[in-house]
Amino acid sequence: MLRTRMGALALATLLAAPLAPQGASAQPATETFPIINSPTIFQEFGGLEGLRRLMEVFEEELIRNPETRPFFANRDNSRTKQQLVDQICQILGGGCVYRGATMRDSHRNMGVNNAQFLGLVEAFQIAMDRQRIPSFTQNRLLAVLAPMSRDIITR
């Protein structure tokens, strides 16, 4: 059902695009991510509900980690969490479609350095540990996320 609804939305967006006014309000580029070839990995993460819970725990860990706290504390991260759910769901083959900005665009002016990126990876690993996701499964996802460091680390 999710797939059909998402599909319908995607179709609607495609049809609407030529009618949208050109110039300053043109749609920003989005990014499609590689999909892990596994029939079970989405369920190993607990499906959509599991991913939503994971992102809540991830936010806690991001605020706890001194490297990432400045980026996530004292602000409303709801939109980020929802986009993360879409992104990870897509990568895990859950059928979601990520509609956010590209990794490069969304991190462009943040000045993320190597240590801060690794802090985020650490926070994510701890969050996955708390959600009892097996280490081997975690690493399969991390393998897809790791190369995104090139677009995220700008300092």
Residues in contact with another protein by the rule CB under 8 A: 64-67, 113-116, 118-119, 121-122, 125-126, 129, 135-136, 139-140, 142-144, 146-147, 149-150
Residue closer to another protein by CB (options 97, 126) is: 126
Greatest alpha-carbon span in the chain: 48
Q: Least distance from C-beta 92 to another protein, angstroms?
A: 13
**Nearer of residues 31 and 67 to another protein, judged by Cβ:** 67
Q: Tell me how far CA of residue 140 lies from CA of 12, 35, 63, 76, 117, in angstroms.
A: 33, 11, 25, 29, 18
Nearer of residues 60 and 105 to another protein, judged by Cβ:
60
CB 71 within 8 A of CB 110: yes
CB of 44 to another protein, least distance (A): 14
| H-state helical runs in 34-155 | 41-44, 47-64, 69-72, 78-91, 103-106, 114-130, 135-145, 149-152
Closer Cβ to another protein, 97 or 142, answer by number: 142
